[in-house]
């Protein structure tokens, strides 16, 4: 179907609200400042624990095989770390979002959620510590390859299980109810050659005023989830733009590719950790690579390497997100809805439309508003075949 488009400067849908954006900048600045302080405090706590001989004291007081001693040493170190960083955790995760009216969750709910998160992540982390110390002792040359393989396997498993086992621990998810939205979205999915069904509502509204949408799972657990805080305040065309973006992730295989990318990054990081650990273990007076007394230093090194490599992961994510945006624009042919959806989304989530460049490079998982909207404007100026 041909449509004549008059050349010139097409009128743009309204951008983000200046008042909300001023708040978004304040919120972003306070969040970043607190995050950097938390990072320094956490690293300081681990260093202090090491310098005060905490690692050695726990290792000597604990009987048993090395991996078990390492687990006890990790619990002690984790306790010191948690004590030092808990004020930042509370400030960034509860107080600030409450103050900016993003969170509507009472303190009790936030605490319960943190406890659940710790109950899930804690045993997994301790399992990795035990395996790492076993591998360090049994295969001092290849331990890093084995740990990378373990992390990769765990990440595949967690991705498969997340929509059916993990997410339900934290959020209620229900199939998208019958109605106009469901019909339009299933039409869109079918048009794109996707199996129908598999669209869920994630109930965020009891907890936050912000919204989100995602594609999650692998294989048979794959599903698209849309926040209830999205469905109740966006136009049909805007919801379709979000859905098309998520379908883009689906069709391009972004989840398996992300799992593979993260696996490669973990391998690179462990490949760097191995020579570094070999280099410092003896000068630090450790009795071997697998001496649990050295855990605080091993944790600091691996944390530092992870931090160093994290901009690569963020950059990869932004690249994937930009591609899903282009896909959404191509398949809906609705750049106006795409642009107004982005403005609404950034205002709602108090997300900066134009963050400082350094923050964009270090922290942003999506391209910021000004980049995403530029893509929509390009299509608005010169619409291609839909
Ligand atoms: Zn996305």
Whether the per-residue pLDDT at 360 is higher than 60: the answer is yes
Q: What is the CA(317)–ligand 1 centre distance, in A?
A: 9
Rounded distance between C-alpha atoms, residue 237 and residue 248, angstroms: 16
Residues 6+ apart with CB under 8 A from 341: 234, 238, 241, 242
What is this structure's pTM? 0.90
Q: Which domains does the chain show, CATH number per domain?
A: 18-173+251-381 (no CATH), 174-250 (3.30.2010.10)
When pLDDT is averaged across residues 97-111 and rounded to a whole number, the result is: 95
When pLDDT is averaged across residues 88-93 and rounded to a whole number, the result is: 96
Q: What is the CA(107)–ligand 1 centre distance, in A?
A: 30
Residues 6+ apart with CB under 8 A from 120: 166, 169
> What does the pLDDT read at residue 59?
92
Answer yes or no: are the C-beta atoms of 348 and 209 closer than 8 Å. yes
Q: What is the CA(67)–ligand 1 centre distance, in A?
A: 39
Q: What is the CA(324)–ligand 1 centre distance, in A?
A: 6
CB atoms within 10 A of CB 205: 16
Q: What is the CA(105)–ligand 1 centre distance, in A?
A: 26
What mean pLDDT value characterizes the chain?
Answer: 92
Please give the share of the chain, as a percent, with pLDDT higher than 70: 96
> What does the pLDDT read at residue 383?
58
Please give the share of the chain, as a percent, with pLDDT higher than 90: 78
Whether the per-residue pLDDT at 171 is higher than 80: the answer is yes
pLDDT tens-digit profile of 114-153? 999 999 999 999 999 999 999 999 999 999 999 999 999 9
Q: What is the CA(146)–ligand 1 centre distance, in A?
A: 31
Q: What is the CA(239)–ligand 1 centre distance, in A?
A: 13
Q: What is the CA(269)–ligand 1 centre distance, in A?
A: 26
Strands in 213-216's sheet, in edge-to-edge order, are 172-175, 199-203, 223-227, 213-216
CA atoms within 13 A on the CB side of 187: 9
pLDDT tens-digit profile of 289-300? 999 999 999 999
* DSSP structural state of residue 226: E
Closest to 277 measured CA to CA, from 251, 297, 247, 262: 297
Can you say how many angstroms the Cα of residue 69 is from the centroid of all Cα atoms in its chain?
31
> What does the pLDDT read at residue 5?
46
Q: What is the CA(382)–ligand 1 centre distance, in A?
A: 24
Query: In the structure, what pLDDT confidence band is assigned to residue 3 with cuts at 50, 70 and 90?
Result: very low
């Amino acid at each position: 179907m041909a449509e004549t488009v008059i050349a010139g400067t097409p009128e743009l849908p309204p951008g983000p609200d200046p008042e909300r954006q001023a708040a978004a900048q304040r919120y972003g600045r306070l969040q970043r400042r607190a995050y950097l302080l938390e990072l320094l405090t956490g690293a300081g706590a681990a260093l202090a624990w090491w310098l005060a001989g905490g690692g050695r004291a726990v290792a000597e007081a604990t009987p048993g095989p090395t991996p078990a001693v390492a687990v006890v040493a990790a619990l002690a170190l984790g306790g010191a770390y948690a004590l030092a960083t808990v004020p930042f955790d509370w400030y960034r995760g509860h107080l600030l979002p409450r103050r900016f009216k993003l969170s509507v969750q009472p303190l009790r709910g936030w605490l319960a959620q943190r406890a659940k998160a710790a109950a899930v992540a804690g045993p997994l982390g301790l399992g990795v510590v035990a395996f790492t110390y076993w591998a360090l002792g049994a295969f001092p040359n290849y331990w890093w390859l084995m740990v990378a393989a373990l992390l990769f396997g765990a990440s595949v498993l967690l991705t498969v299980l997340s929509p059916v086992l993990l997410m339900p621990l934290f959020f209620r998810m229900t199939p998208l109810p019958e109605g106009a939205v469901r019909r339009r979205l299933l039409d869109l999915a079918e048009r794109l050659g996707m199996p129908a069904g598999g669209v869920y509502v994630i109930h965020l509204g009891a907890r936050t005023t912000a919204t989100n949408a995602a594609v999650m799972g692998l294989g048979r657990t794959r599903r698209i989830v849309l926040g209830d805080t999205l469905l109740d305040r966006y136009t049909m065309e805007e919801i379709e733009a979000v859905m098309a973006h998520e379908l883009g992730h689906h069709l391009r295989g972004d989840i398996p590719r992300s799992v593979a990318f993260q696996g490669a990054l973990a391998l690179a990081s462990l490949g760097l950790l191995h020579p570094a650990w070999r280099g410092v273990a003896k000068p630090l007076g450790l009795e071997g690579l697998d001496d649990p007394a050295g855990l605080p230093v091993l944790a600091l090194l691996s944390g530092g390497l992870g931090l160093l490599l994290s901009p690569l992961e963020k950059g990869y994510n932004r690249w994937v997100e930009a591609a899903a945006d282009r896909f959404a624009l191509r398949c809906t042919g609705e750049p106006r809805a795409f642009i107004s959806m982005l403005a609404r989304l950034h205002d709602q989530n108090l997300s900066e439309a134009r963050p400082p460049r350094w923050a964009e490079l270090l922290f942003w998982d999506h391209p910021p508003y000004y980049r995403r909207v530029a893509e929509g404007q390009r299509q608005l100026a010169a619409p291609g075949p839909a």
